[in-house]
Amino acid sequence: MSIENKNDCPPSVECSIEKALDVLEGKWTFLILRDLFEGKKRFGELRKSLDGISPKTLTERLKQLESKGILVREAHATIPPTVEYSLTEKGQSIKPIVKAMKLWGAAWGE
C-alpha cells in the first residue's frame, strides 16, 4: 500500500489525508475520541480522564468535533444542567483508524 502525497491529488480536490488530519488534529482529539468510543460521557468525566487538559481546550475540541459531525452534544434540562457527548456514526467510523495508530505506536513507538 502506498502513501498519498500531494501529487496524487488533482489540483481542484483537497487530499483525503488532509481532510482526515483536519478532523483529527491535535493530541487531545484522539484522546477524546478514545474515551467516547466507550459510550456517552459528561464534560467532567472527559476532563478527569484527560490528565492535563484545560477546560478551555476541552471545550474548544468538543465544539470542533461537533461542528465536523463527529460527536453530538446533548443537553438535559436538569438541575444542575447535564451535558453528555457521544459519537455520531461518522465519529464511530474513526475507530479503526485510532486502533491502527495504537497498534503502530505499540510496535514502533519508543
7 vs 23: which has the higher pLDDT:
23
**CATH class as words, domain 14-108:** mainly alpha
Neighbours of 46 (CB within 10 A): 19
Alpha carbon separation from 85 to 62, 92, 101 (Å, rounded): 8, 13, 23
Q: What are phi and psi of 83, to 5 degrees?
A: -125, 130
**What is the residue extent of each domain of the chain?**
14-108
pLDDT of 1 strictly over 50: no
Q: What is the tens place of the pLDDT at every residue in 15-72?
A: 777 788 888 888 899 999 999 999 999 999 999 999 999 999 999 999 999 999 999 9
Confidence (pLDDT) at 50? 95
83 vs 2: which has the higher pLDDT:
83
- Which band of pLDDT confidence, cut at 50, 70 and 90, is reported for residue 12? low
